[in-house]
């Protein structure tokens, strides 16, 4: 139930009205004596601080990589190309692993012979392992690259280098919110586009 009190006459105690008066007069521009924190500062000694907005180029890292690749000799190996990408990203070159995926666990002599006869066609996996120089790549490791038939260790390593190049280029494009079909990639990053095409062609010839 609301309690109504008569407005006191002049000279009478008005203390119980202090809070309600403040509520109604604090924001009233016609009432003198407004709150001190609402009074604008005059003759301020502090000068205004201008904060300039930094405009960043989302293609900056890709463009830096393109310039880095242009400095490599024409006979640069795929390892050199991969190393250049890793240098731009500030990561160490990965370890390429070439391992057997499936094994026949039949312990019989007949089973072991059958397993040996199929050795040439058993799938092997090629993966890349990054160290802790990059948190994302380290957590994702070992990064599966592809399955292949049996091949020499050097051939598998070379194939791994090529797949790492495509993996890192794709990662960098995603970070820049860029697709291979985008005009910016086709026109401004022609070297990277040509590199991807060349690597893909080499991989197709290798498997």
8 Å CB contact between 159 and 126: yes
pLDDT of residue 150: 86
8 Å CB contact between 121 and 168: no
- Beta-strand relationship, 143-148 and 95-100: unpaired
Q: Give the total residue count for the chain.
A: 207
8 Å CB contact between 35 and 26: yes
pLDDT of residue 180: 83
Q: What is the pLDDT of residues 135-174, one digit of tens each?
A: 889 999 999 999 998 889 999 999 999 999 999 999 999 9
pTM for the structure as a whole: 0.64
pLDDT of residue 181: 87
**Could you list the pLDDT tens digit for every one of the 207 residues in the chain?**
555 555 555 566 555 555 444 454 555 555 555 555 666 666 666 666 665 555 566 788 999 999 999 999 988 999 999 999 999 999 999 999 999 885 443 444 444 444 444 444 558 999 999 987 788 899 999 999 999 988 899 999 999 999 999 999 999 999 888 888 888 888 888 899 999 999 999 999 887
Distance CA(185)–CA(75), nearest Å, equals 24
The token duo for 130 is: 């990054």
pLDDT of residue 35: 57
pLDDT of residue 59: 85
Q: Is 130 exposed, middle or buried (0-12, 13-18, 19+ CB in 10 A)?
A: buried
């Amino acid at each position: 139930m609301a309690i109504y009190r008569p407005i006191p006459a002049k000279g009478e105690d008005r203390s119980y009205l202090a809070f309600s008066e403040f509520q109604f007069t604090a924001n009233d521009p016609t009432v003198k004596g407004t709150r001190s924190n609402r009074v604008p500062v005059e003759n301020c000694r502090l000068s205004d601080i201008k904060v300039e907005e930094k405009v960043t180029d989302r293609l900056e890292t890709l463009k830096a990589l393109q310039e880095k690749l242009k400095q490599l000799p024409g006979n640069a190996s795929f390892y050199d190309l991969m190393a250049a990408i890793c240098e731009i990203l500030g990561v160490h070159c990965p370890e390429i692993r070439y391992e057997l995926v499936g094994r026949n666990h039949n312990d019989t002599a007949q089973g072991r012979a059958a397993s040996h006869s199929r050795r040439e066609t058993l799938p092997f996996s090629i993966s890349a392992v990054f160290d802790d120089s990059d948190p994302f790549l380290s957590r994702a490791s070992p990064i599966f690259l592809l399955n292949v038939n049996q091949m020499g260790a050097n051939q598998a390593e070379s194939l791994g280098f090529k797949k790492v190049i495509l993996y890192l280029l794709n990662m960098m494009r995603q970070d820049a919110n860029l697709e291979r079909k985008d005009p910016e990639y086709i026109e401004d990053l022609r070297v990277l586009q040509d590199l991807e095409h060349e690597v893909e062609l080499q991989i197709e010839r290798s498997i």
